[in-house]
Amino acid sequence: MNSHKEFLKVFPVFSIGMGFILMLVCILADAQTFASNELRWAENRKLSWQDFTGTVDPIRNANVQAVAKVAIDLTTKAENDTVWFEVQSSFIKNGSWTINRTSDYLLQHEQLHFDIAELHARKLRKRLGELRGLTFSNLRQKVHAVYQDLQKQHENFQQRYDAETNHSNNQRMQSVWNSKVEQLLIQWENYNDPLVHNTIR
């Protein structure tokens, strides 16, 4: 079969709660080079306050001390009888801001938003690797459907996190969520490789 590539780019942005912005990005194209203001999730690279380079929202809620902006990026390349998916979770520096650069506790709350993005990136990798009946004609539709479903799951999960922790103000629930997300990342560890492939007809 001849080499074939599809292109689709979607940038929906959602405002989650009061202290988090979710940007879920779906790119069906050749691999893109990340801009210098984006950090890819890595187990041994935690966020620091220096990563929050965005401008503080002048009309922010008085209870909000920080906002983290994260993204899930999907790059897809289809060639011959194989389709490759690269799924990355990233932190957008210039879209994230804080008025408190001393609280390790608050920083951990924002880190968990990033970890939740990685958790859903792993779920997306699994879903894409298990897609069946892919053809060049239905690739765009099938990938987009999976993306939309995952997008909603991610959005709901992030909203629930901020609601149950009251944006980190509920310390008991923050501790519960810290443990919960840590365990979920371990459960989905088999999907920590950004690259996954599938067969296309």
pLDDT value of position 159: 93
Instruction: Tell me whether residue 186 is in a domain.
Output: yes
**pLDDT, tens digit, for every residue of 111-124?**
999 999 999 999 99
Instruction: Tell me whether residue 128 is in a domain.
Output: yes
Instruction: Tell me whether residue 145 is in a domain.
Output: yes
Instruction: Tell me whether residue 1 is in a domain.
Output: no
For residues 73-99, b (16+ Cβ closer than 10 Å) or e, as one string?
bbbbbbeeeebebbbbbbbbbebbbbe
pLDDT value of position 11: 32
Instruction: Tell me whether residue 18 is in a domain.
Output: yes
Domain count, the chain: 1
Residue 7 has pLDDT above 80, yes or no: no
pLDDT value of position 57: 87
Q: Calculate mean pLDDT across residues 27-55.
A: 79
pLDDT value of position 36: 81
pLDDT value of position 151: 86
> Could you list the residue range(s) of the whole structural domain that residue 119 is in?
8-199
Instruction: Tell me whether residue 33 is in a domain.
Output: yes
pLDDT value of position 59: 84
**pLDDT, tens digit, for every residue of 122-173?**
999 999 999 999 998 999 899 999 988 998 999 999 999 999 999 899 999 9
pLDDT value of position 60: 80
Q: Calculate mean pLDDT across residues 167-191.
A: 97
| 175 or 25, which is more confident | 175
pTM comes to 0.83
pLDDT value of position 79: 83
pLDDT value of position 32: 45
> How far apart are the C-alpha atoms of 34 and 32, rounded to whole Å?
6
Residue with tokens 């920590």: 192
Instruction: Tell me whether residue 90 is in a domain.
Output: yes
Instruction: Tell me whether residue 3 is in a domain.
Output: no
Residue with tokens 């506790």: 105
